[in-house]
Amino acid sequence: MEVSISAAVNVSVLAMAVIFAVLVILIFTIQLLVKLMPYKAPPPAPPRRKTAASASSEDDHVAAITATLAMHMGKSPSDFRIVNISQR
Amino acid sequence: MEFSFGASATKIITTTGFSSLGGGDAIMLLVACVLLYLAIWKKFEPLLLLPMGFGCLLANIPMSMMQSTDSGGLLNFFYQGVKHEILPPLVFMGVGALTDFGPLLANPATLLLGAAAQIGVYFTLVGAVYLGFNMHEASAIGIIGGADGPTSIFIASKLAPHLLAPIAVAAYSYMSLVPLIQPPIMKFLTTEKERKIKMEQLQPISQTVKIVFPVVVTIVCCLMLPGVTPLLGMLMLGNLFRESGVTARLHETAETHLINIVTILLALAVGSSMTADSFLRIETLKIIVLGLLAFSIATAGGVLFGKIMCKMTGGRVNPLIGSAGVSAVPMAARVSQKVGSDADSSNFLLMHAMGPNVAGVIGSAVAAGVFISLFGDTVPEPHAAIADVIGTVEPGAKAAIAQVVEALQH
């Protein structure tokens, strides 16, 4: 039994050493990759001018919000009106 | 052919399952019902425990030919996927397709936490040897501490197939109990001040790095530990489907339909191996106890290494993320987040904990690779299909085929 336990301890120490060795190699590899291929932030999207299409999109939003609010409040959509949507 | 009423009735009675139902079968049917109860009403890993419990139920109905050992039976065919190590790697492919390695790439030092948590595997290995298991069996039991179901099944089917059922049940049961097992250990090993540490926001990672990473891991890890290639290779292939951006259909299939289908087959196959002969033994109780020990020590190992990293970085690492190194994705990371937010409601550790969490998957796969290198067969047996062909040909041709197979193996 003692021989087996000492063998198990030896295996455990060896295996932990191998695991740490493999993962440390991976750490250095990842650091190298990140250094070689740094993250480049995408260019900011140009501000959109309000066009007929975007007005139409806003109408869709108003319709969706109106329907959701009406369902939530238990009222008819014609009982209230959304007058302004502001972006935060 | 004549039939008398009495003889026919006797024949029907002797061919019912009741006529062969033994005490062991009845107990196993009860065990199956307990697994179904835990899955359905207690929500313990239901995706696994439900089909596993039902597989156990089917396998223990006498004369149903549904045991994993019933040659020609339905579940025997499913079991070939476990025996020939097909199903666990396919589950890993799905896991890879579901996994975002971004948090790990943003903070690669967390890989060390995934390594430290593997200490549970080796404490359990020593404990299992102390309790009388041989090294192969002890390795298969120890890997429960890796908290990775497919890896546990993969290693058990390779090193100790006769212990597959209790090991799989213990692994998945304890994985579902992570929210109960881990928090007391995490709180015991950390101070209130440490639990309140807020970590810096992770740096963004370029998509190119995310694409190259699975290829590099496969080359580095599989060259060092070739035995782990089926598991790690499939994990990384699934991840490459996800990150490459050119295989949207394969990615979608791997992360949804494929993993679901394979999970059903795998769990049914494991359930079909839960027979009275293999399960109702004192070894099963020992494995259940050792599994709990494995999870607890793994959690403690991760947290203690987290404390070391906390000291070395001047308090920039919250030790609670160390417990996520046990794998059990994403449950263990959620536990880190929960314990951290209990100490300070404005503390968000989830993304930081995902790093060691996915590192734990790689760590447990590497631990499995070490076991395969030490105790696995370096030359696998011929595949069943080849063996069948060899069995049907003339003796002279058989010798020639055997020579070809041997040459291929070398």
| DSSP type of residue B200 | P
Are the C-beta atoms of residues B28 and B275 closer than 8 Å to each other?
yes
Entry pTM: 0.81
pLDDT band at B389 (very low <50, low <70, confident <90, very high): very low
**ipTM score of complex:** 0.82
Are the C-beta atoms of residues B310 and B199 closer than 8 Å to each other?
no
List the domain boundaries for chain B: 76-375, 379-410
Contact list in B for residue A27 (CB cut-off 8 A) is: 108-109, 111-112
pLDDT at B379: 46
Angle at alpha carbon of residue B185, lines to B304 and B133, rounded to 5°: 85
Please check whether residues A34 and A54 belong to one and the same domain.
no
Please check whether residues A29 and A53 belong to one and the same domain.
no
Question: Is the CB of residue A8 less than 8 Å away from at least one CB of chain B?
Answer: yes
- For the cut 50, the answer to whether the pLDDT of residue A76 exceeds it is yes
pLDDT tens readout for residues B72-101: 899 999 999 998 989 999 999 999 999 999
Are the C-beta atoms of residues B363 and B146 closer than 8 Å to each other?
yes
Query: Residues 6 or more apart from B20 whose CB is under 8 A from it?
Result: B62, B63
Q: What is the mean pLDDT of residues B110-126?
A: 94
Q: Nearest CB to A15: which of B209, B224, B367?
A: B367
Please check whether residues A54 and A24 belong to one and the same domain.
no
pLDDT tens readout for residues A12-30: 999 999 999 999 999 999 9
Please check whether residues A24 and A60 belong to one and the same domain.
no
Are the beta carbons of B119 and A37 separated by less than 8 Å?
no
Angle at alpha carbon of residue B8, lines to B7 and B14, rounded to 5°: 90
Contact list in B for residue A23 (CB cut-off 8 A) is: 111-112, 114-115, 359, 362-363, 366
Are the C-beta atoms of residues B67 and B76 closer than 8 Å to each other?
yes
For residues B154 and B393, which has the higher predicted lDDT (pLDDT)?
B154
Q: By residue range, what is the domain housing residue A72?
A: 49-88
Please check whether residues A55 and A88 belong to one and the same domain.
yes
CA B270 vs CA B23, B75, B96, B144, B265: distances in Å: 21, 9, 22, 15, 9
Chain B residues with CB under 8 Å of a chain A CB are: 104-105, 108-109, 111-112, 114-115, 118-119, 121-123, 125-126, 129-130, 134-135, 138, 203-206, 208-209, 212-213, 216-217, 220-221, 224-225, 359, 362-363, 366-367, 370-371, 374
Are the beta carbons of A16 and B213 separated by less than 8 Å?
no
Please check whether residues A11 and A29 belong to one and the same domain.
yes
Our CA-based measurement puts residue B311 at a distance from the nearest CA of chain A, in whole angstroms, of 19
pLDDT band at B272 (very low <50, low <70, confident <90, very high): very high
Q: Nearest CB to B115: which of A4, A19, A39?
A: A19
Interface mutation target, options B206, B222, B308, chain A, most CBs of A under 10 Å:
B206
Are the beta carbons of B122 and A24 separated by less than 8 Å?
no
Q: What is the number of domains present in chain A?
A: 2
- For the cut 90, the answer to whether the pLDDT of residue B33 exceeds it is yes
Contact list in B for residue A24 (CB cut-off 8 A) is: 111-112
pLDDT tens readout for residues B212-255: 999 999 999 999 999 899 999 999 999 999 999 999 999 999 99
Peptide bond into B330 cis (omega under 30): yes
- For the cut 90, the answer to whether the pLDDT of residue B278 exceeds it is no
> Residue with structure tokens 């417990």?
B323
pLDDT at A1: 59
| DSSP type of residue B257 | I
Q: How far apart are CA A82 and CA B159, in angstroms?
A: 68
Q: How many CA atoms lie within 13 A of A26 on its CB side?
A: 34
CA A41 vs CA B133, B202, B355: distances in Å: 55, 14, 22
